[in-house]
Amino acid sequence: MLEKFFELKKYKTDIKTEVLAGLTTFMTMAYILAVNPEILSAAGMDKNALFTATAVSAILATLVMALVAKLPFALAPGMGLNAFFAYTVVLTMGYTWEFALTAVFIEGLIFIILTAFNIREMIVNAIPKNLKHAVSAGIGLFIAFIGLQNADIIVNNDAVLVGLGDMSSHTVWVGFFGIIVTGVLFVRKVKGSLLIGILSSTVLALALGVAHWPVGGLVDTPPSLEPIFFKFDFSKVFSLEMLIVVFTFLFVDMFDTVGTLVGVADKAGMLSKEGKIPRVKQALFADAIGTTAGAILGTSTVTTYVESAAGVAEGGRTGLTALSAAVFFFVALFFAPLFIMIPAAATAPALFIVGLFMLEPIKRIDLSDFSEAIPAFFTIIMMPLAYSIAEGIVFGMLSFVLIKMLTGKFKDISIIMYILAVLFIVKFFM
């Protein structure tokens, strides 16, 4: 049944590979089960209820990706978007978390409409092929940077923005140990190298005191959603404030998702000769439905996770990878203490190694044509430096349009690219 539904032979994969890929994807993004409640609770929301909302929204959205789009990508409440929700909309702008949830709900509904009318698909397809390869490479640098940060190998430095961490730190040891173990396993072509690396790092983290065994046991009942479920505030739906907040959510989520889909699909060899993603409309529906359902459950915007690249690196090629990830999120509902125990430093090696894999499409960028190479390089370099996939795409596409226009290469620019360029410029002043 699974072979027929997911066409495993067509994509040269099997059930074992897909399930292992799904587990690897889940393990690299399981941190969200601990981090999302921590961030959103700063807005005054119930932390225990947020754990359940995070897991359930991830399950629902990933199931849509698995069964409708049949692609190996997992979804969950997005990092960055949750920080904007809590620290900007609520703590800085002074709105209630109910107001912020309402903005997320409206964003989800707008995404469903835009997807239904193929507007989001048109945007994905409008991105030039060289920029799509650049998106993959940029994401590679971005997630490798995140991995190094998670292990405290790279830390904040007020003098030069970033710098090398304390090399005597146990957290750094865990990170470096995992990178070397995972690297050796890949050189020896061992199946499940990323997952083995995560587990090995976790064992060392426990031994060094970086991680701690759960005191109350490994199994627990999922907390109730009641404190945050369907808690909307529609009193300011038509206000300018709501328009600005919804637009920001829309913009960041739109291009984060587009960037992730393009980058991971490119790495998986799924892009067509024209640079198109198979079943992209269905994939975009997954995050639109996930965001809407997530707001009802009580969490911030749900988006496609760049950590899906870890599963792809393990050989995941079909929706069975996503289905497996969804099943593991369901299991996590009842084993919260176990999954929350895995420290970020233990998943850092997987992100670092996957970052390397994501660089591969850079070989297909035409670096001899500067009107293509400069926008591609802008895309690549701005993702880690601006700490945003969306901003990398903005600078890449905007520079593409401007350079092509100013050098008379108008036929290389589509109408949609012109429209997006104008919107990007408007966004800078909002």
pLDDT computed for residue 187 by the predictor? 92
pLDDT computed for residue 430 by the predictor? 64
Element (H, E) at 304: strand 302-304
Q: Are 391 and 374 in contact (CB under 8 A)?
A: no
pLDDT digits 0-9 by tens, 230-275: 999 998 888 888 887 888 788 777 777 777 788 778 877 777 777 7
pLDDT at residue 217 greater than cutoff 80: no
The encoded tokens of residue 120 equal 């989001």
Q: How many domains does the chain have?
A: 1
pLDDT computed for residue 343 by the predictor? 85
pLDDT band at 52 (very low <50, low <70, confident <90, very high): very high
**Any domain includes 221:** no
pLDDT band at 401 (very low <50, low <70, confident <90, very high): very high
Domain that holds residue 300: 9-212+239-428
**Any domain includes 3:** no
List strand residue ranges (DSSP E) for 89-171, in order.
154-157, 161-164
**Any domain includes 229:** no
Q: Which residue has the higher pLDDT, 154 or 340?
A: 154
Mean pLDDT of 211-218: 82
pLDDT computed for residue 64 by the predictor? 96
pLDDT digits 0-9 by tens, 150-199: 899 999 999 999 999 999 999 999 999 999 999 999 899 887 788 888 88
| Alpha-carbon span 327 to 299, nearest angstrom | 20
**Any domain includes 69:** yes
Q: Are 75 and 303 in contact (CB under 8 A)?
A: yes
Per the prediction, the chain carries an average pLDDT of: 88
Q: Which of 114, 44, 54, 52 is nearest to 81 (CA)?
A: 54
pLDDT at residue 78 greater than cutoff 70: yes
**Any domain includes 195:** yes
**Any domain includes 219:** no
pLDDT computed for residue 26 by the predictor? 92
For residues 182-198, b (16+ Cβ closer than 10 Å) or e, as one string? bbebbeeeeebbbbbbb
pLDDT computed for residue 208 by the predictor? 96
Q: 373: which residues sit within 8 A by CB, 6+ positions away?
A: 130, 365, 366, 367
Burial, 310: exposed, middle or buried (Cβ in 10 Å; 0-12, 13-18, 19+)? buried
Q: Which residue has the higher pLDDT, 154 or 394?
A: 154
C-alpha 15: how far from chain center:
24
pLDDT computed for residue 94 by the predictor? 87
The DSSP 8-state label assigned to residue 224 in this structure reads P
pLDDT digits 0-9 by tens, 306-325: 788 889 888 898 999 999 99
Q: What percent of the chain has pLDDT over 70?
A: 100
pLDDT digits 0-9 by tens, 94-107: 899 999 999 999 99
**Any domain includes 321:** yes
Mean pLDDT of 45-53: 92
Mean pLDDT of 415-421: 90
pLDDT at residue 47 greater than cutoff 80: yes
| Alpha-carbon span 212 to 227, nearest angstrom | 29
Q: 357: which residues sit within 8 A by CB, 6+ positions away?
A: 140, 267, 309, 313
Distances (CA, A) of 81 to 100, 149, 158, 187, 252: 11, 19, 25, 37, 8
pLDDT digits 0-9 by tens, 124-156: 778 888 888 888 888 889 888 988 998 999 999
pLDDT computed for residue 74 by the predictor? 95
pLDDT at residue 22 greater than cutoff 80: yes
**Any domain includes 174:** yes
Mean pLDDT of 7-34: 89
